[in-house]
Amino acid sequence: MTRPGEEASVTSDFVRSYVITGGRTLPAPDDLALHTLVTLAPERTPPLGAGPEVMAIWELCAGGYLSVAEVAGHVGLPVGVARLLLTDLSEQGHLLRRAEPPRAQNVDRATLEKVLHGLQSLIG
């Protein structure tokens, strides 16, 4: 009955994402945008009964600021799902958030040249 090779390999994600969210409504993206930076607040202990995904996010965020998109990418979850878990952590006060740095203003060429010349004379 057991012929080797008969069993096809199964590669789809084992735990489906709606189970990870527990079927809850996903948060709107405006609160934690893709490029919002998050990190763990100092001296926090992981919430009791945290699932493996939350623990993975916890470990990722412990090392410094990461964007929401990066967190999702590294734990291998859809952004919306990662955002829900991050929102949970944030509501429990575990996360520090930082909006993305503002875009640099375009500076005219003359100013840049002046800076360049200044720097050249500095390094000399």
Partner 1 sequence: MTSLTRDPLLWILLVVLVAAVVAVMRARRTNMALRRTRKDLEAGLGEARGDVGQLHTHIAGLTAQHQRDLADVRADAEAATKAVLKSAMGTLQSLAEEQQVLLDGLLKKYGDTTDVLADLMTVDHTGSQFGRRAKGISVLCGGWLGRREGAATVYDVARSAQGRIRDFDRVGVHSQVNVSLIGKAVEPVAVVLAELLDNATTYSAPGTPVEVNIQTVPTGVCFIVDDAGLGMDQETKDRAAALLAVDGPVDITGLGDPPRFGFAVCGMLAARYGFAVSVGSVSPYGGVRAVIRVPESLLAAEVPAPAAPQDAEGTEAAPQRLAPVPVVGPSHVVGTTSGGLPKRRRRNGPVTVVPALDTAGRQETSEPASEVTASRIGAFARGTQLGRTTNTTEGPDNK
Contact assessment for residue 92 and residue 47, using Cβ atoms and an 8 Å cutoff: yes
Q: Does residue number 8 form part of the binding site for partner 1 (CB under 8 A)?
A: yes
Q: Does residue number 22 form part of the binding site for partner 1 (CB under 8 A)?
A: yes
**Residue count at the site for partner 1 (CB under 8 A)?**
59
Q: Does residue number 39 form part of the binding site for partner 1 (CB under 8 A)?
A: yes
Residue 121 identity: S
Q: Does residue number 66 form part of the binding site for partner 1 (CB under 8 A)?
A: yes
Q: Does residue number 44 form part of the binding site for partner 1 (CB under 8 A)?
A: no
Nearest approach, Cβ of residue 94 and partner 1 (Å): 15
Q: Does residue number 90 form part of the binding site for partner 1 (CB under 8 A)?
A: no
Q: Does residue number 13 form part of the binding site for partner 1 (CB under 8 A)?
A: yes
CA distances from residue 9 to 4, 6, 15, 83 in whole angstroms, order as listed? 12, 9, 16, 31
Residues forming contacts to partner 1 in the complex (CB under 8 A) are: 1, 6-23, 25-29, 34-35, 37, 39, 51-53, 55-56, 59-60, 63-67, 69-70, 72-82, 100-101, 103-104, 119, 123
